Amino acid sequence: MARILSILVGLFFTVALAWSFGLGFYTWATDPAAPTAEHEFHLLPKEVAFASDGAFGKFDKQQLQRGFQVYKEVCSACHSLNHVAFRDLAQLGYSEGQVKAIAAGFQVPGVDPTTGEANLRPGLPTDYFPKPFANDVAARAANNNAVPPDLSLMTKARHEGPAYVYSLLTGFQAQPAQLLKEFPDSKTPNGLHYNPYFANLNLAMAPPLTGDGQVEYGPGNPKPTVDQMSKDVAAFLIWTAEPSLDKRKQTGLAVTLFLLFATVLGYMAYRNIWAGKKH
């Protein structure tokens, strides 16, 4: 009885699935989904290497400082960095005095001590990076109806994040003729910019890094080409997304080595205890 019931219930689900499959297969065979420009022309991020890659990779602090400079001089005009405080910059190798000076270079929201009115004051190391826009409405108004996303976690919030940031910054180009030929309706709308590394190909952000030397690097640094600046700011954003990256890998090495040692000891104890006991 139980088996008959079970087989009936089984038939209920399997027949329903076969029905779904059959109709789905028929639609798929007779009326396949039309290809889209996004599907045909979207590109995966480019291959790019960073000092922090791999199990033993470490941040290149010189590069992080350059990336920070690019963020400060270019990106910060539109993009916030909500989760990073000025004090965190000490990790990039800046001295206490330098951190104070950097913080003081930013105006952060404050309160006038005499009147109690809201005002702006120079930043302190304990302050977080100020937001470039008062709210999303202001951000939209200034950016062709798009809100520039916060960059603190950007490299963890996209697939292959660091390579994605680098590819996006270096990927602006004219819309390929082939695309317009195949998908005449997919012309990049006015005010948007074609970039094959962006999910839907058209991006509200104008190319932010337009020419070599846009940011002036100090002596002893590589030439600030668009490619170099993109790489540097991507490296900086790896750090903002995961400041503990170096410590994490160092801890991992110590923990794994200890565990290997302990496991070998444990295995020998196991062999010793079971010796002579067939199993």
Partner 1 sequence: MSFPWANEYKPSHPFMQWMDDRLPLPRLVFNSVGAGYPVPRNLNYFWNFGFLAALCLIVQIVTGIVMAMHYAANTAVAFDTIEMTVRDVNWGWMMRYAHANGASMFFIVIYVHIFRGFYYGSYKAPREMVWLLGVVIFLLMMATAFMGYVLPWGQMSFWGAKVITGLFGAIPFVGEPLQQWLLGGFAPDNAALNRFFSLHYLLPFVIVGVVILHIWALHIPGSSNPTGVEVKAESDTVPFYPYYVAKDGWFIGVFAIVFSLMLFYFPNSLGHPDNYIPANPMSTPAHIVPEWYFWPFYAILRAFTQDFFFIPAKLMGVLAMFGAILVWFFLPWLDKSPVRSGSYRPLYKKFFWFGLIPAMAVLFYCGGAAAAEPYVMISQLAALYYFAHFLIVLPIVSAIEKPLPLPYSITESVLGTDEAAQLAPSATV
Q: Which of 161, 113, 149, 150 is nearest to 128 (CA)?
A: 150
Q: Are 129 and 236 in contact (CB under 8 A)?
A: no
Q: Does 249 bind partner 1 (CB under 8 A)?
A: yes
Minimum distance from residue 196 beta carbon to partner 1 (Å): 16
Which residue in the set 30, 34, 55, 177 belongs to the binding site for partner 1 (CB under 8 A)?
A: 55
Q: Does 18 bind partner 1 (CB under 8 A)?
A: yes
Q: Which is nearer to partner 1, 174 or 254 (CB)?
A: 254
Q: Does 33 bind partner 1 (CB under 8 A)?
A: yes
Q: Does 11 bind partner 1 (CB under 8 A)?
A: yes
Q: Which of 55, 52, 95, 94 is nearest to 234 (CA)?
A: 52
What is the rounded CA–CA span in Å between residue 56 and residue 44? 26
Q: Does 125 bind partner 1 (CB under 8 A)?
A: no
Among the residue ranges 45-53, 69-77, 111-119, 244-252, the one whose residues contact partner 1 (CB under 8 A): 244-252
Residue 113 is classified by DSSP as: T
Question: Hey, is 39 helix, strand or coil?
Answer: helix
* Length of the chain counted residue by residue: 279
* Tokens coding 200: 């839907």
Q: Does 243 bind partner 1 (CB under 8 A)?
A: yes
Minimum distance from residue 228 beta carbon to partner 1 (Å): 26
Minimum distance from residue 269 beta carbon to partner 1 (Å): 6
* Tokens coding 214: 């846009």
Residue 57 is classified by DSSP as: -
Question: Hey, is 194 helix, strand or coil?
Answer: strand
Q: Does 17 bind partner 1 (CB under 8 A)?
A: yes
* Tokens coding 55: 């199990």
Q: Does 244 bind partner 1 (CB under 8 A)?
A: yes
Q: Which is nearer to partner 1, 119 or 259 (CB)?
A: 259
Q: Which of 141, 129, 156 is nearest to 75 (CA)?
A: 129
Question: Hey, is 110 helix, strand or coil?
Answer: strand
Which residue in the set 90, 138, 157, 206 belongs to the binding site for partner 1 (CB under 8 A)?
A: 157
Q: Which of 4, 182, 153 is nearest to 83 (CA)?
A: 153
Summarize as ranges the residues that interact with partner 1 (CB under 8 A): 2-3, 6-7, 9-11, 13-21, 23-25, 28, 32-33, 55, 82-83, 88, 149-150, 152-153, 156-159, 161, 199, 241-244, 247-249, 251-253, 255-256, 259-260, 262-263, 266-267, 269-270, 273-274, 277-279
